[in-house]
Amino acid sequence: MKINSINNPDQGGYLNRLFTIKAYAALLIGKLLLTFTRLVGRGGTTLPGRIALMINPDFVRVLSRQIKVGSIIVTGTNGKTTTSALLSSILKEAGLTCIHNQAGSNMSWGVASAFVEEAKLNGRIPVDYAIMEVDEGAFPAVTAALQPLGIVVTNIFRDQLDRYGEIDYIQKAISTGLNIQPDKGFQVINADDPSLAALGHASGISRLTFGLDLDLADDNLHNTGRDLKTCPLCRQELAYEKIYYAHLGHYYCPNCNFKHPRADVRLTNYSCNDDNFTILNVTHQKGSIKMTSSLSGRYNLYNILAAATCSLGLGIPENTIASAISKAGPSFGRMERFTYQDKSITMALIKNPVGANEVIRTLLNRREKFSLLVAINDKIADGKDVSWLWDVDFEQLPARKEQISSLTASGLRAWDMAVRFKYAGFEQDMIKISCSTEEALITAIEKTPQAGSLFILPSYTAMLEIRSHLNKMGLGKPYWEA
C-alpha cells in the first residue's frame, strides 16, 4: 500500500514570507558554532541547535517547510538510531536526498542542529525528505514543529526512570505526538507491542503495522525486562501465543477482545548463512521480499521490518529496499565492529533492561572466548537512576565464564557495576574495576587473546567516550560522521 505524499505548498516564495531575519540570524550563528565545535573536536550536534532555538523558537518549523516531500519521525524506546539509519539508506538507494540527524542527538536541539548543518547559507534545504530520530519525551513538541508526513514507532519499554518513570508516561507522550500529526499522513506501528497496538489513530491517518510471524525456541532468558504484563484496555493479565522478547509477541487478553492484530508486513522466516549474514523473508500485502543483512540480534529484525514497512508505504521498490538493507552496517555504537591488532572489538549500547538482555542473548550465541567490558555512566543523557541494572539478566553470563577471558567494570558507576557482577555470580577476583573508560579499554584490549573478541557494553555517554578513545587509536570515524 503506497501512502500519498504531503506536498509542501508554495515552496518557491516560501523564504520571502517566512524565512525571517531571526531565522536567518539563528542559522548563521548556528553555522558558526557548528564550525567551531568541529574544529575543537566536538560533535556540534546539540549546541548549534540549542542556540538557534533560543534565537528563534520556530527555527525548525520554518526550515522544515522547505522539505520537498515531507518529514518522517522515528521514535520509540529502542531501535530509533538503527531504524532511521536504515530508512535513510533505503531512500538514498532510491535516488532521493535526505537530511538525517545521524549522530543520534534526538532532542529538539539535535533536530535543529541537523537543519543548521544541512541548510545552505541562503537558508535553502534542497532535499526530498527529512528523517529524524526523536526522543519519546521530545516527540510531541518535535511533531508539532515538523508536521511530519510519516511517523514510525518502534516499541515502548521502561527507560531512564528518573525522566519517565514507568512506561505509562512514554505511552502517553507517544499518543500525544501521534494525535498532533496532520491529516493525510501515515503511521508505522509495531503490532507485536501491545502498548502500541492499543493506541487509536485519527480517520485521516493511514496506519501500517509490522511484526514477526516466527516460531522461535525459548532460550531461557529470565525475561525480567518484560515491562508490560497487563492488557492496556482492561488491565487484566495478558496471555501469549508467541513471545519474542520482553512483552513483544502475539498476545491476547482472556478478559476482553483485545488481541494481536495481524501485521501488514511480517517477517515469516529467517536464517543465518556461513558468512554470518541473516537471510530474511518478508511478506507484505502485495508480495514478499527476500533480503540479507549483516545486522545481528533479534531486536534488529524489528528495526529492519520497521524501515522496510515505512519504505513500502512510500512506494519504494522491493529490490531497492533489499539492496539497501544488504549494504547497511551497524549504526555507531549499536553492534558496531572494529579490528585492532588482529583483535575484534564490538560495541553494543545498553540503556535499559530489554536492550541489555537482547545484547546478552547475542553474546550467549557465541562459542569462542571473549573479553567483556561494561561501562556505565549516570549523566543526564544516560539517566541518573541506574537501578535498571538489577533487571538485566547478567546471571546468564557466569555459566559461560570459561569463555570470558577478562571482565571489566568501568565508567562513573564502575563500582555499582562490579557489585552487580558479584551478585550475578562472578567471583570477586575475576572482576576488574577502572573508572577511567580509556584505561579500561586499553586493559581490556590487552587481556583479549590474539585473534579474539572484545565486547563493550556501554551506556550512552560512556559509548561516546570509548568511541573517542577508539578514534584516537585510528579506529572508525567521529560519531557525528559515523
Looking at 5-14, 245-254, 283-292, 380-389, which range is the least confident one? 5-14
What's the pLDDT at 314? 95
Instruction: Give this prediction's pTM.
Output: 0.86
One of 215, 219, 385, 429 is an active-site residue; which one? 385
Alpha-carbon distance of 20 to 61, in angstroms, equals 12
First to last CA, the chain: 33
Q: Residue 243 pLDDT more than 80?
A: yes
Alpha-carbon distance of 32 to 113, in angstroms, equals 12
Query: How does strand 343-348 pair with strand 334-340?
Result: antiparallel
Strand order in the sheet with 70-75: 98-100, 129-133, 70-75, 150-153, 186-190, 206-212, 265-272, 278-284, 287-293
Q: Write out the E strands in 428-477.
A: 431-434, 453-458
What's the pLDDT at 210? 97
Q: Which three cell numbers stand for residue 463?
A: 559509548
Mean residue pLDDT of the chain comes to: 86
What angle is formed at CA 381 by the lines to CA 375 and CA 386, rounded to 5 degrees? 55
Q: Residue 4 pLDDT more than 50?
A: no
What's the pLDDT at 162? 46
Domain limits of the chain? 14-327, 334-472
Q: 66-97 pLDDT, tens per residue?
A: 899 999 999 998 899 999 999 999 999 999 99
Q: Residue 274 pLDDT more than 70?
A: no
Alpha-carbon distance of 334 to 355, in angstroms, equals 11
What's the pLDDT at 228? 72
What's the pLDDT at 222? 47
Q: Residue 301 pLDDT more than 90?
A: yes
Facing residues of 255 across strands? none
Alpha-carbon distance of 394 to 420, in angstroms, equals 8
Active site residue 393: no
Is the CATH number of domain 14-327 3.30.420.40?
A: no
Per DSSP, helices labelled H in 147-209 are: 161-164, 167-180, 194-197
What's the pLDDT at 14? 46
Q: 415-428 pLDDT, tens per residue?
A: 999 999 999 999 99
Max mean pLDDT range (92-96, 168-172, 271-275, 351-355): 92-96
Please, how many CA atoms are within 13 Å of residue 231, restricted to the half-sphere of its CB?
A: 16
Q: Which of 45, 89, 74, 83 is nearest to 134 (CA)?
A: 74
Q: Which residues of 107-146 are buried (b: 16+ CB within 10 A; e: fewer)?
A: bbbbbbbbbbbbbeeebebebbbbbbbbbbbbbbbbbebb
What's the pLDDT at 481? 59
Is the CATH number of domain 334-472 3.90.190.20?
A: yes
